[in-house]
Amino acid sequence: MQASTAHFNLNRLGVIVSSYAVNFYGTDYVTSPALQGAELPGIDSDRLFASWDIRSNRVQRLGNRENVPITATPDARIAIPADWTKLLKEDPHRAKEQLLRTRGDFQNNFDKGLICAAFEPADDGPQYLLYRPEAVME
């Protein structure tokens, strides 16, 4: 849910993501002085797991600071909040809804055999980009 981390791992390092773990570290509970006394939801610690083939042509080229965009059209997109940390603090119920939505989106797309190989870090709507493996694998 952190756009800067997703951008770095997918677009700069060239990792590939094909699995999702629900509540990997356990549930965190939001605390905020502005929300004192409110009943706040627990936020699960879902995680994406990446593989990094450092011998692939794409990763080697990225390591040489080349721009290596994926030219294939994404088969799916998964939007995330532009500022996850702010959303957690200001509206933890909405944050939980967004987490559950993205969880379902990732699980459904991974079940279809898609992989996540790129990220669009736009301020107004950052998105994970998912592809058929043959569209991006070398």
List the chain pLDDT tens, one digit each, 138 residues: 999 999 999 999 999 999 999 999 888 766 665 555 566 678 898 999 999 999 999 999 999 999 999 999 999 999 999 999 899 888 888 999 999 999 999 999 999 999 999 999 887 789 999 999 999 876
This model's pTM is above 0.85: yes
* 8 A C-beta contact, residue 3 and residue 80: yes
Task: Determine the Cα–Cα distance for residues 42 and 56; give it in Å rounded to an integer.
Answer: 39
Task: Determine the Cα–Cα distance for residues 51 and 101; give it in Å rounded to an integer.
Answer: 24
The secondary structure of residue 72, as a DSSP letter, is S
Which is it for strands 42-44 and 47-51: parallel, antiparallel or unpaired? Answer: unpaired
- Find, among 24, 46, 136, the residue nearest to 96 by Cα: 46
Task: Determine the Cα–Cα distance for residues 136 and 132; give it in Å rounded to an integer.
Answer: 7
**Other Cβ atoms within 10 Å of 135 Cβ, number:** 16
Task: Determine the Cα–Cα distance for residues 45 and 84; give it in Å rounded to an integer.
Answer: 13
Intra-chain end-to-end CA distance of the chain, in Å: 28
